[in-house]
């Protein structure tokens, strides 16, 4: 030891508080445990939770006593080391930091070669003695899922006790189910030659949620692009989800997710088939209603963490400037195609084969407004029945409708609940039949009938005047 040196050990109690405040949510912390199970080649994960305890059991390779002891050490891995393709970790901290963020007592029990080993971190005890003292717990046979661990050839059981926070267990588990079904959907699907992963949460099997709705015929998958960064390849596949008119109410709500379509647009970053971050443009593009159906899938290997700025929680990323430059090109191409489901429908008002109730009146290249079509046959027919004074009032009423068209409310509803808008129900089928009956009694000529058949009212009733 150099005479100019002195050992200054950290205050463990204060260090633990800092270690616990990294910023994990409940579902992100559990996802870190699932990563470990997948890395251990588990095909089955059972999560059991009560208010005072949470257990996660997998049927992975398991650990012997020395391996378990090493896995409980903080920073067991060098983040610079090469890892196998199926290793979803990096820092060797996930098990500990994820667990400490949610609870004060972490117990790990593992089985390998028919032998069961157990170790425990108790943060209150560590703070009390001011030493990193790893406990070998007793009476582990009463822990939930322990008997199931005994019955399988190998596996690992993680137990959380002494929780923090005020969030109810039911709220936590509902968020967890949705997070797991999305983040690990490719493993749950058995994609890319994986053996299908089965995850249970309180005896309910989790179904995969693929955010690109790939099974729907109206989903557009755009040709994949590949970007080479050093020795690594980034695969990028854009998707355009179906317009709401092509989906059932249930399916539309499902793919909107709780965040809604506006916030769910953008990039979905997969690292070794596990979603890290989703619903972001990384500041390269502004989220808009016109592009809310655009979702772009990015696949990277676990050798590219530096280029993507992957954090310890694996819940945030920031691509390098070189990668951002390439992503901008893909954004430009995809968003042009992604806005077509909306612009195509918007142009229907300009369709000259139908006499619409509404029209668009342009004042310049930058100014226009929506107007009621006063050349519509129904309005012209109505005009002939009115004297000048009444016609003036009806025109004033229509001008008021145009002036105070609730555009903000319409836009907000189209963004959030388009499937709930039932505008066409304002005109009942009986009203259409009654109008047709009145017109027929007036003795229409063939030319007049053709004119009426071009209106939106009768465009779907071509034989109504026969």
Reported as a pLDDT band with limits 50, 70 and 90, residue 343 is: low
Q: Is the dihedral of CA 60, 61, 65, 69 positive or negative?
A: negative
pTM of the model: 0.74
d(CA 409, CA 361): 21
- Cβ atoms of 204 and 298 within 8 Å: the answer is no
Reported as a pLDDT band with limits 50, 70 and 90, residue 346 is: low
Segment 108-137, tens digit of pLDDT: 999 999 999 999 999 999 989 888 899 999
- The whole-number average pLDDT for the span 188-212 is 92
Beta bridge partners of 116: 111
The DSSP result for 321-341, as a single string, is: HHHHHHHHHHHHHHHHHHTHH
Residues of the chain with CATH 3.30.565.10: 12-205
Segment 142-181, tens digit of pLDDT: 999 999 999 999 999 999 999 876 555 777 899 999 999 9
At 85 the pLDDT is: 53
For 305, the 3-state DSSP assignment is: helix
Residues of the chain with CATH 3.30.230: 220-344
What CATH number was assigned to the domain covering residues 12-205? Answer: 3.30.565.10
Percent of the chain with pLDDT over 70: 90
Q: Which residue has the tokens 């040196």?
A: 5
Q: Which residue has the tokens 């390269």?
A: 284
220-344 sits in which CATH class? alpha beta
At 1 the pLDDT is: 55
- The whole-number average pLDDT for the span 348-373 is 75
d(CA 379, CA 373): 8
At 271 the pLDDT is: 93
Mean pLDDT of the chain: 85
- The whole-number average pLDDT for the span 340-349 is 57
At 77 the pLDDT is: 53
At 123 the pLDDT is: 92
Reported as a pLDDT band with limits 50, 70 and 90, residue 14 is: confident
């Amino acid at each position: 030891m150099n005479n100019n040196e002195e050992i200054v050990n950290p205050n463990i109690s204060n260090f633990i508080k800092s270690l616990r405040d990294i910023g994990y949510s409940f579902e992100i912390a559990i996802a870190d445990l699932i990563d470990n199970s997948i890395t251990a080649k588990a095909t089955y994960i059972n999560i059991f939770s009560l208010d005072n305890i949470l257990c996660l059991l997998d049927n992975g390779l398991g650990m012997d006593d020395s391996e378990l002891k090493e896995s409980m050490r903080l920073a067991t891995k060098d983040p610079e080391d090469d890892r196998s393709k199926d290793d979803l970790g990096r820092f060797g901290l996930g098990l500990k930091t994820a667990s400490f963020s949610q609870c004060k007592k972490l117990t790990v029990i593992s089985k390998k070669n028919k032998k069961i080993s157990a170790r425990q971190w108790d943060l209150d005890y560590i703070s009390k003695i001011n030493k990193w003292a790893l406990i070998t717990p007793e009476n582990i046979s009463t822990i939930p899922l322990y008997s199931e661990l005994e019955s399988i050839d190998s596996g690992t059981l993680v137990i959380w006790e002494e929780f923090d926070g005020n969030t109810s267990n039911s709220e936590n588990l509902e968020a967890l189910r949705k997070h797991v079904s999305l983040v690990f959907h490719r493993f749950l699907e058995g994609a890319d030659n994986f053996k299908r992963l089965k995850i249970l949460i309180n005896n309910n099997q989790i179904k995969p949620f693929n955010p690109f709705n790939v099974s729907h015929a109206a989903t557009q998958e755009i040709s994949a692009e590949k970007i080479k960064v050093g020795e690594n390849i980034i695969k990028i596949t854009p998707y355009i989800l179906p317009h709401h008119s092509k989906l059932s109410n249930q399916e539309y709500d499902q793919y909107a997710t709780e965040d809604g379509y506006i916030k769910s647009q953008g990039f979905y970053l997969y690292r070794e088939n596990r979603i890290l971050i989703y619903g972001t443009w990384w500041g390269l593009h502004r989220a808009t209603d016109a592009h809310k159906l655009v979702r772009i899938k990015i696949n990277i290997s676990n050798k590219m963490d530096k280029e993507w700025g992957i954090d310890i929680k694996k819940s945030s990323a920031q691509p390098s400037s070189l990668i951002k430059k390439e992503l901008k090109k893909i954004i430009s191409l995809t968003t042009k195609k992604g806005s077509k489901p909306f612009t195509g429908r918007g142009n229907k008002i300009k369709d000259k084969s139908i006499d619409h109730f509404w029209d668009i009146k342009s004042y310049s290249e930058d100014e226009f407004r929506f107007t009621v079509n006063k050349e519509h046959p129904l309005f012209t027919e109505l005009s002939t029945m009115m004297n000048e004074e009444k016609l003036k009032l009806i025109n004033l009423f229509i001008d008021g409708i145009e002036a105070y068209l609730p555009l903000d409310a319409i836009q907000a509803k189209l963004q959030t609940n388009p499937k709930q808008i039932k505008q066409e129900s304002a005109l009942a089928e009986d009203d259409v039949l009654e109008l047709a009956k009145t017109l027929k009694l007036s003795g229409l000529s063939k030319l007049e009938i053709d004119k009426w058949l071009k209106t939106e009212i009768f465009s779907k009733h071509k034989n109504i005047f026969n």
